[in-house]
Amino acid sequence: MLAADGEPVVYSPEVAEKAVEFQQKLLRSTKKVAVLCNSEFMVHNLRHVTKESGIHDHSNQLFGKDKDMVQQAYELLGINGNDLIKEKKH
C-alpha cells in the first residue's frame, strides 16, 4: 500500500499500541477528534485503532485534498480557523 506521496506505508503493531494509548489520553480531555490522513490505508488503520481504544464514536478520520480535509475538520470541530494550520503551497 502506498501513501498519498507514493511512499510505502508501514504500520507496525508497536505503533498501533502507542496510538491506542495516545487516543485514550485524548479522550480524557476532548469530545471530538479530527485526524487528517495521508492515505486511505491510514484511514482504515486508524478506524481499527479507534475501535481498540474505545474512541471510535469520537474520532473522524479524513482523507482528501488538504484544503477539503482542513475545512471538514473545522466544521466537525465547530471552529472557524487556526493560525497553526497552514495549507501546503505547491
pTM: 0.68
- Give the domain extent around 38: 13-77
User: H-helix or E-strand containing 2?
Assistant: none
Asked, for residue 50, whether it belongs to a domain, the answer is yes
Report pLDDT for 62.
Answer: 93
Report pLDDT for 11.
Answer: 66
Asked, for residue 88, whether it belongs to a domain, the answer is no
Report pLDDT for 87.
Answer: 66
Strand segments, DSSP code E, in the chain are 33-36, 59-62
Tens-of-pLDDT digits for all 90 residues of the chain?
Answer: 556 667 666 667 788 788 778 878 877 888 888 888 888 888 888 888 888 778 888 889 999 998 899 889 989 888 887 777 766 666
**Number of compact structural domains in the chain:** 1
Non-local (6+) Cβ contacts of 36 within 8 A are 62, 63, 66, 69, 70, 73
Asked, for residue 68, whether it belongs to a domain, the answer is yes
